[in-house]
Chains A and B, each alone.
Chain A
Amino acid sequence: MADMLLRLAGVHTHIGPYHILQDVTLDVPRGGVAVLLGRNGAGKSTTLRTIMGLWRASAGEILFDGKAIHSLATPEIARSGIAYVPENMGVFSDLTVAENMRLAAVDGPFDARRLAWIKELFPPIATFWDKTAGTLSGGQKQMLSVARAIIEPRRLILIDEPSKGLAPAIIASMTSALRELKETDTTILLVEQNFAMASALGDTVSVMDDGRIVHAGDMRALAADAGLQEQLMGLSLEEHQ
């Protein structure tokens, strides 16, 4: 059995009267990219928010590197080594790009080499360093959001739909940046609806529907099996390329 960095076992999440996650069991192997696929409303974002403690799991357990984190508060979960890039990017629009990055460097001043690498990975971060984040385009905000998540080494990065609302050229650039990030041995749990991006990055895949995991396996196998894609998500990779 592969070495699992994150494991969700029988997780349930209720939001008000709604039972969103229903017995979710999900494994994220250490290193590489685990992709979480599913249609709108399947429970993907809720899964990430539950891992981060932003919504509390009402049952089940979440183990991060073998340690239970489901009862920890969000800041403790973040400080245990998990970074989160939310669907709405979570950029502080009233702060400059530099201030956003400063705030994300929880442990203190920037590591100069790491910052240089990030600026190389995402050139707009350097270009607009002193500009207010609210004035950035959608793609630039997404880059800032990811850059913020990696300004300090994290063992796991949760990224929620980084391609959402972005132009194809920006998606291609984002894919290439995430691929470079993957090569640094950072583990990524990627929620994505863009199958092309997901299949280009993913090592393993889980598919959600109605708050449940309905498929878990190898990404290449799913990408190669149009019938399975059709069955799981009502789409095929070819149609989405």
Chain B
Amino acid sequence: MSETAIRPKLVGPTPLERVRRAAPLLLAPVMALAGLAAIGDPSVWLTLTVAGLAMGLMIFIMASGLTVVFGLMDVINFGHGAFVSVGAFVGFTVLAWLAGWTQSPAVILNLAAVFLAILASMAITGALGLAFERVIVKPVYGHHLKQILVTMGGLIVAQQLIHVVWGPDAIHVARPQSLQGSFIFGEAAIEKYRVFAVGIGLVLFLAMRHVLRATRLGLLVRAGVENGEMVEALGYRIRRLFLLVFMAGSALAGLGGVMWGLYQETITAHMGSEIMVLVFVVVIIGGLGSIEGCFIGALLVGLLANYMAFLAPKIALVSTIALMVGVLMWRPQGLYPVVKAK
């Protein structure tokens, strides 16, 4: 084929489309500035903003697995909250075993205890994810209504199993010594644990982005989200990819459970199903299947929830739903809708 026969010419995107695509990136900074204008006091604003970012990034950790599972496998997993709860309880158990480390003044021992708790939670919830996919999800691929019913059933069973193993009462989780207390900047007090949560969330987001952008596995996931059938036609066994992604999503939920448990300092069997409302809001705002959208949505939800809790506590609960409605009126498919092959 000669060069003259076809003159290579790129068709898009237009400048307007570029602006449209970049617009969601401005939402979190705009919300932060709006928060500063509404709150007035920079110290209070800084405290609330760090709290909002920490909350948002913890929700992102839990939501990222759910959104990829939905995008790639077209599975609506209402049982995702079970992995959050199980993760929190496993993390609590490991931290309780390592009480000597968590109560030590040595930062390194404190952090080692938390990371071991996270590793154990991710290993157990990842393995549970494997069983959940094989036993509960696999038979209902392609049937959304059945998925909702059966994964909801799985959630209830998991909650009851938590009651059997750890008892029905709420359990207090003490943060390791070095993650207690606050950093003081001028008049602003910023909880150390929130800074830690922001760090973990950002590292995780960058790691996920790297895996999705720079590895063959990431390429397969991105391609599978768009057109799983074509991935199979190229010679890849997408069912194995489904399983791997489901396990990873479950492990991330487990990690989120540990982080959320330490954040709330109390864990219950129902904590996963309670946080799922916010997780679903974030996934919907971001666009089903989109990691970047999920990240932005989580920051927006975290910031808004904290600002509104300070400014207007009575409507704080509905503010995240109002945010979702507003975003969907602007972009009905979410901030970064994933293009699905027809």
Which residues in A have some Cβ–Cβ distance to B below 8 Å?
A: 52, 54, 73-75, 78-79, 84, 86, 88, 90, 92-95, 99, 102-104, 106, 120-124, 127-128, 131, 134-137, 139-140, 143, 148, 169-170, 172-174, 176-177, 180
Q: Is the CB of B234 within 8 A of A173?
A: no
For the A-B complex with A90-B230, A176-B1 known, give 8 more contacts whose Cβ atoms are closer than 8 Å: A54-B233, A75-B236, A86-B233, A94-B338, A124-B8, A131-B10, A135-B10, A176-B2
Cα distance, A134 to B236, chains bound together (Å) = 22
B225 closest partner in A (C-beta): A94
Q: Is the CB of A137 within 8 A of B5?
A: no
Given contacts A52-B233, A75-B237, contact A169 B6 (CB under 8 A): yes
| Main DSSP-derived SS at the B contact region | loop
Residues in B whose Cβ lies below 8 Å from that of A88: 341-342
Q: Is the CB of A93 within 8 A of B5?
A: no
Residues 35-55 of chain B, each 1 if its beta carbon lies under 8 Å from chain A, else 0: 000000000000000000000
Cα distance, A23 to B225, chains bound together (Å) = 35
Give the residue of A78, A92, A122, A127 whose beta carbon is less than 8 angstroms from that of B222: A92
Q: Is the CB of A102 within 8 A of B232?
A: no
Residues in B whose Cβ lies below 8 Å from that of A148: 234
Give the residue of B12, B226, B230 whose beta carbon is less than 8 angstroms from that of A94: B226
In the complex, whether B219 has a CB less than 8 A from a CB of chain A is: yes
Residues in A whose Cβ lies below 8 Å from that of B5: 169, 172-173, 176
Q: Is the CB of B227 within 8 A of A92?
A: yes
Residues 1-21 of chain B, each 1 if its beta carbon lies under 8 Å from chain A, else 0: 111011011111100000000
Q: Is the CB of A123 within 8 A of B233?
A: no
A211 nearest CB across to chain B (Å): 22
Residues in A whose Cβ lies below 8 Å from that of B222: 92, 94-95
Contact residues on B (Cβ < 8 Å of other chain), bracket? 20 to 34
Q: Is the CB of A122 within 8 A of B1?
A: yes
Residues 208-249 of chain B, each 1 if its beta carbon lies under 8 Å from chain A, else 0: 000000001001101101110111111111100000000000
Cα distance, A99 to B214, chains bound together (Å) = 10
Cα distance, A4 to B238, chains bound together (Å) = 31
Give the residue of A84, A99, A102, A124 whose beta carbon is less than 8 angstroms from that of B6: A124
Q: Is the CB of B8 within 8 A of A123?
A: yes
Residues in B whose Cβ lies below 8 Å from that of A121: 1
A181 nearest CB across to chain B (Å): 10
B230 nearest CB across to chain A (Å): 4
Residues in A whose Cβ lies below 8 Å from that of B315: none
Cα distance, A94 to B213, chains bound together (Å) = 11
A125 closest partner in B (C-beta): B8
Given contacts A78-B235, A123-B6, A134-B339, contact A92 B13 (CB under 8 A): no
Residues in B whose Cβ lies below 8 Å from that of A106: 234-236
Cα distance, A93 to B341, chains bound together (Å) = 9
Q: How many A-B residue pairs lie within 8 Å, measured between CB atoms?
A: 101
A179 closest partner in B (C-beta): B1
A173 nearest CB across to chain B (Å): 4
B310 nearest CB across to chain A (Å): 39
Given contacts A88-B342, A134-B339, A137-B9, contact A123 B1 (CB under 8 A): yes
Q: Is the CB of A103 within 8 A of B234?
A: yes
> What are 23 A-B residue pairs whose CB atoms fall within 8 Å in the complex?
A52-B233, A75-B238, A84-B233, A90-B229, A93-B226, A94-B222, A94-B338, A95-B223, A102-B216, A106-B234, A106-B235, A123-B8, A124-B6, A127-B8, A134-B339, A135-B11, A137-B10, A139-B6, A148-B234, A169-B6, A173-B2, A173-B5, A177-B1
Residues in B whose Cβ lies below 8 Å from that of A52: 233
Q: Is the CB of B235 within 8 A of A75?
A: yes
Interface pairs A-B: 10 shortest CB-CB? A78-B235, A90-B230, A127-B8, A173-B5, A74-B232, A106-B235, A124-B8, A177-B1, A92-B223, A79-B235
B21 nearest CB across to chain A (Å): 11
Cα distance, A139 to B10, chains bound together (Å) = 11
Give the residue of A79, A94, A140 whose beta carbon is less than 8 angstroms from that of B339: A94
Q: Is the CB of A128 within 8 A of B8?
A: yes
A138 nearest CB across to chain B (Å): 9
Given contacts A135-B11, A170-B6, A176-B1, contact A103 B233 (CB under 8 A): no
A6 nearest CB across to chain B (Å): 16
Residues in B whose Cβ lies below 8 Å from that of A54: 229, 232-233
Q: Is the CB of B8 within 8 A of A103?
A: no
Q: Is the CB of B1 within 8 A of A78?
A: no
B2, B10, B235, B237, most chain A CB atoms within 10 A: B235
Cα distance, A29 to B9, chains bound together (Å) = 38
Q: Is the CB of B230 within 8 A of A86?
A: yes
Q: Is the CB of A135 within 8 A of B13?
A: yes
B338 closest partner in A (C-beta): A94
Residues in B whose Cβ lies below 8 Å from that of A131: 10
A197 nearest CB across to chain B (Å): 14
Q: Is the CB of B219 within 8 A of A99?
A: yes
